[in-house]
Amino acid sequence: MGSIIPLFKLLSHFEPAFEDEEGVVTLGNIHGPISKSERTSFVTYASRVHSYDGLGEERIALSSYIQALQLTNRTCLLPNLRTLRVYGGPWEPEVYFFFSPSLRTVALRETDSEYHPDSSSVLHSLQRVTANLTSIDVSASWSTVGLGAISSIHFLKNLHLSHDHSTEGPKGPEGPFRLDVNFLLDLPCSESLSTLSIAYFDLFADQSTRHQQATAFPVLKRLRLLLSLTSMGPLTKLLQNAKMSSLQEVDISISPRRMDESEIAHWKNLFRALPVTTSNLQHFVLSATSEPSGAFWSNLNLSIKDFEHLSQCNLATFTVYPPIFSTLSLGDISSLLSRGGDLNLLTLRTPGLGFEVLVIIAQTLPKLTFLSAGIDGRQLLAADSIPILEHRLGTLIVTGRLERPLTLARLIDRIFPHLFYTLFSPSQDPDNEEWVQVESLLKVLREARSDERARSSRNV
């Protein structure tokens, strides 16, 4: 249900909100008595509503909500409501009128920069009213009290928490709220969670707290962590102290700022811990919200041994935007991908390796449909040295130091002859019109081959 106005319009004396010529808004209101038949219709209609997502946009007077509650003789306006989604503001105190014991899914998101609801009060009230919640999605300015309310909710299947750090506090804009990794490890709903998403928090690890045994997340399938994370230590601690045997998708976004010996150790431990935490990983995505210089990633100096356990996972998606492979050799990349025969989507940056890495990918990953690769394309091999392959790759994005567009196109066509979409993003001279011509040339070559195959089949 996108609007509750039709429900109130069952009352003959209800007048919806309107705005006059000067922009003054008059809230919707009930201006007269309610008949017995209207009451019956109202109660019947309200009982049939199972989903509602219009709160904050209705502009109904608070007194009318109270009259409606008195009319139904209930504590909630929609007694059988199962899904409540609130994307606008302000939505207090009206939101309390929709807290039904039947609720299963609740989404509360701040969209008004001048309005900051008390999420802790709302969540505590929600937790007291309904014991059947399975999904919570809240974007708000978090506090310790608000997180405490989340910690009191059991049996959740989906938990999405996002900190709105754009709000203005008494001392100016607030930064990311600091979230102790132990909050996640101590969640009472860990055994029922299927999806866990944490965004725009500054994750930290309280070193004084030790976990004697790993926290079990037996049915967790999707883990999304979009963090203002300056160190990989807290994330590593989470994976080292959690057992996620069903985990299939991991999406991590970080904001790295330093790379010293302790940080390098955290990175190494991360890739060693991940395959131990889960043996069913299928999708792995790692991105960075800030882009340090290439020298920053070279200092990481990861070796192929750091990825040995990860390469044993049966991955379908392996997307790594930061150039953490910058110190690996061509042989290392070949070894890394040798067990990735089921990969469909691959993104990696190898700024120190040339076109040969694309050849290895084409020869090693037969099921690949999407490839985004960062390479050093300045020294291209002779066309005769590039094998002619029939790889079915459909989408190719190439970035890095790229030169000689037409030559590069010819080499690509030898290994990926079935491309439907290509994009070239050279770090130097990106406005060169020849790069646009390359995309057209590859299309022409593909269509010409298609015509030739059709001609050959007719002649058989």
State the chain's mean pLDDT as an integer: 86
3-state secondary structure the chain: CCCCHHHHCCCCCEECCEECCCCCEECEEECCCCCHHHHHHHHHHHHHCCEECCCCCCCECHHHHHHHHHHHCCCCCCCCCCEEEECCCCCCCHHHHHCCCCCCEEEEECCCCCCCCCHHHHHHHHHHHCCCCCEEEEEECCCHHHHHHHCCCCCCCEEEEEECCCCEECCEECCCEEEEHHHHHCCCCCCCCCEEEEEEEEEECCCCCCCCCCEECCCCCEEEEEECCCCCHHHHHHHHCEECCCCCEEEEEECCCCCCHHHHHHHHHHHHHHHHHCCCCCEEEEEECCCCCHHHHHCCCCCHHHHCCHHHCCCCEEEECCCCCCCCCHHHHHHHHCCCCCCCEEEEECCCCCCHHHHHHHHHCCCCCEEEEEEEECCCCCHHHCCCCCCCCCEEEEEEEECCHHHHHHHHHHHCCCCCEEEEEECCCCCCHHHHHHHHHHHHHHHHHHHHHHHHHHHC
pLDDT score of 375: 93
pLDDT at 288 over 90: no
CATH for 82-459? Answer: 3.80.10.10
Per-residue model confidence as pLDDT tens digits over 120-148: 788 888 888 888 899 999 888 787 778 88
pLDDT tens readout for residues 186-225: 999 999 999 999 998 888 887 766 666 788 999 999 999 9
pLDDT bucket at 78, cuts 50 / 70 / 90: very high
Mean pLDDT, residues 108-125 taken together: 70
pLDDT at 64 over 80: yes
pLDDT of 171 reads 37
How confident is residue 396, by pLDDT bands cut at 50, 70 and 90? very high
